[in-house]
Structure formats: C-alpha cells, structure tokens
A and B are shown apart, each in its own frame.
Chain A
C-alpha cells in the first residue's frame, strides 16, 4: 500500500518539477531550472520521509529507512540517464553552434570583401576613363551644349556673311546701274566727235577753195579732224572696257548670289537631333545621379546590417558559456545522484548548494553578461 502511494505522488511531483525547470530553462535560466528540479525532488523525498514517519505505526524504523533508500536509488537510477542525455544534447548544441558561427563569420567576411569590390566596380563605371572626378554624363552634357552653341554661332556667322554679301551686291549694283549713263555720255562724245569731224571736213573744203590763203587753215582743219578721230577711238575703247566691266559685274552678282544662298534647313534638323540627344543625356545624367545616391545609401545600409550580424554573432560566446554551465551542472548533478547510496541526502544538498554558489561567484567576477537575455542588453559590453 505504501509502495503504490509512493509511485503515484512521486511521479506527479517529478512531472511538476520537470515542468517548472523546463519553463525556467525556456526563460534562459537553465541552471536555476536544474537546481529547482533537484532541490524540489530532494525536498519532496524529505517531506515524504516525514509523512512516512507519521504514518509508520506498524513497521520498524530500519525497515522504513531501508525502503526509502531503495526508493531514492530507484529514482536516481531513472534520473541519471535522463540528465546524461540532456548533457549530451547540450554538448551537441555547443558543437553545432560553434561550427555554425564560424561558418557565418567566414561568410560575413566574404560578404564584406565582395561588397567592397562591388562598390569599386560601380565607381569605375560612373567615373570617366581618364580618372578625373567628373562623371561621363556631365561631360556628354557639356559636349552637347557646346555643339549646340557652335551651331548657333555657325548660323549667326552665315547670316552675317549673307547680309554683308547682300550689302556688297547692292553697292556693286549701284555701279552697274550707273553704267548706262556713262555709256550715254560716251555716245554723246561720239556724236560730238563725228560732228567735229564733219565740221573739220567742211573747213578743209572751204580752205581748199580759198587757195594759197587758206593753206594754213587747211592744216588746222586736218589737225581738228585727227583729234576728232582720236576722241572717237578713245570713246570706243572706254565703251569696250565698260562692257567688259558690266559682264564682270554680272558674273560677280551671280557668284555672290550663290555664296549668299546657303540652304540652312539641314541645320534645323541637326539642332533638333542635338536637342533630342541632349535631353536624353540630361535624363540619363539625372538618373545616374539618383542611382549613385541610392547605391551609396544601399552600401551604407549593407555595411550596417553586416555589422549588426557580426555583432549578433558575438553573443555566441555568451550562449556558449551558458550552455557550458548548464552542461557542467547536469554533469555534476548526475554524478552525485549516482553516488546517492553512499552519501547522505543533506551532504548532497549542501554540495549542490556550494557548487552553485561557486559558479555564481565565478561568473560575476568574470564580468560576462551572462544575465543578458537579449542582444540589446549586451550591446554596451561588446562595443
């Protein structure tokens, strides 16, 4: 009857204590969970012994002790393998975590290197080939603007030249227009010469009729005739020259007209094309500018994220220590539970107590943020 009661309540108590310890473990207070589990079980055994004492009417004291010892040993033999397997799991976790963390560290280092190379590539993509800080896009922009200005100047020069040609042409035309007047004047001179010639001829006839007395006059009349002939020859020569000049002016007018008449409509097309290219370049330059800024931002954020990740990895140390502590506590507990039959219960409790005290002092003097349960809490100690 006593045995049956013991098994049921002990089982309930064990489940309760394990539940509490798991809850504490879950909260990050692993060693406290183990301590509560162990202390709870021990105190339950003690309390159970008192009750058995109160109820023990018929059996002798030695029989009672014998039976309790037996039960304790049975319990210890159940607990030891469970604790051992917990310890083994913890050690597995430690080893896995160490491997994973070293892999992560390596990956992050690689990531950082790749990121730097990427920024260099982007930079070289945006900066012009001669290494100056000026971006290609702004150079193209200047080039397009200069080409546009050059075309404007070309047009202005063409128009100015055309205007000057027209001016010149008008002046030449005025000379050309004056030609007929000169020709008319020369024709008048011809008329006068021919009349003078006729007059001289008449004078010569009259002089011949006068005989010897008119001989001197005949010489004068001959001279006048010669002069009129020369004057007519001069007039003819001048008229020939003027005709040549007229022809040359006509040719000049034609040539100047050709020079002044340039088709300028192609410049319109060229200017339109330049404007289109310019608009595209400006748009591209603006986009490049935005992209560069956003790339800068991304690089900064990436760097920060990487730093955070590496910072997070440093908590591996704390977690490792925590796990290590829990593993040693488990080891200690199951080792001592194995020796339960040789040692006194109270000795076992006091040993456990002093072990926990010692570890607690150790941890506090090591200044490790073991109490931290979040990364934020450990930030100050890490940086």
Chain B
C-alpha cells in the first residue's frame, strides 16, 4: 500500500472547493497512514487567495502531523500565482 495521497484539484480552485478540499485532506491526515500529500495542479487554470489560504492551512496541519506536502503539474497563471505567493518555499515541487 502506497503512503502517498494525490488530491486532484479542479479547474477553478477557489472557495467553492473549500468543503471537499478540507474534508479530503483532513481524512488523510487523520488516517495516519499517508506520509506524502501531492496537490495535482495539472487541471488548475485559476486560483484565488482563499485557495492560497487553504494551501497554507493544509501545509501547516500536514507538517504538524509529520506529512510532506508537494505541488505537481502547475502551469501558466496558476504557476505564476503560486510563485508570487511564495508557495514553492513551503511546498516541495515535483
């Protein structure tokens, strides 16, 4: 059984995805079997500040639980926004 969990993000990563996102990663953290959470940005075309806030919160909680968090497949505007918000400093890039 793999200890990596991939969260696939929608095309528009904003507040509307708050519920599924939070409950999704909270379950993974609570399960205590996963050591690595990967956020898959390959579909994301837009993200707003709430998405960035959710990511910061998730990173904090994952780190507190000893789980590594990474970003995968970011491109275009999404990548620009992630870089601007210094997400590459708190997340590992794959």
Which residues of A are in contact with B by a Cβ distance under 8 Å? 152, 155-156, 158-167, 169-170, 257-258, 260-265, 267-268, 271
Contacts and interface: CB of A to CB of B under 8 A. Distances in A.
B49 A167 contact: no
Contact of A166 (B18, B48, B81, B86): B18
B15 A257 contact: yes
B56 A260 contact: no
Contact of A169 (B18, B77, B81): B18
Nearest to A164: B53
Interface string B53-84: 11011001000000000000000010011001
Contact of B14 (A160, A164, A167, A261): A261
A263 B48 contact: yes
Contacts of B22: 166, 170
B81 A261 contact: no
B50 interface: yes
B49 A261 contact: yes
A261 B15 contact: yes
B50 to A, nearest CB: 4
Interface residues of B, number: 20
23 contacts: A155-B84, A155-B85, A155-B86, A156-B85, A156-B86, A158-B49, A158-B52, A160-B53, A160-B56, A162-B49, A162-B54, A163-B53, A163-B54, A166-B22, A166-B53, A167-B57, A170-B57, A262-B50, A263-B49, A264-B48, A264-B52, A265-B46, A267-B84
Given A257-B15, A257-B18, A268 B81 contact: yes
Given A260-B15, A261-B48, A264-B48, A165 B86 contact: no
B81 A264 contact: yes
A162 B14 contact: no
Interface string B9-49: 00000110010001000000000000000000000001011
B52 A162 contact: yes
Interface of B: 14-15, 18, 22, 46, 48-50, 52-54, 56-57, 60, 77, 80-81, 84-86
Given A260-B53, A261-B49, A268-B80, 12 more contacts: A155-B86, A159-B52, A159-B56, A162-B52, A162-B56, A163-B60, A166-B18, A166-B22, A166-B57, A170-B22, A257-B15, A263-B49
Contacts of A155: 84-86
Contact of A262 (B18, B49, B60): B49
A163 B53 CA distance: 4
B53 A165 contact: yes
Contacts of A169: 18
A271 B84 contact: yes
Q: Is the interface of B mostly helix, strand, loop or mixed?
A: helix
A161 B81 contact: no
A156 B49 CA distance: 10
B48 A262 contact: yes
A-B CB proximity, top 7 nearest: A162-B53, A163-B56, A262-B49, A163-B53, A260-B50, A261-B50, A261-B15
Most A CB within 10 A of own CB, among B15, B57, B81: B15
A159 B18 contact: no
Most A CB within 10 A of own CB, among B18, B49, B77: B49
Contacts of A164: 53
B11 to A, nearest CB: 14
Contacts of B57: 163, 166-167, 170
Nearest to A253: B18
Nearest to B14: A261
Contacts of B86: 152, 155-156
Contacts of A156: 85-86
A268 B80 CA distance: 7
A76 to B, nearest CB: 105
Nearest to B86: A156
B57 to A, nearest CB: 5
Nearest to B19: A173
A342 B14 CA distance: 128
A290 B84 CA distance: 34
Contacts of B80: 265, 268
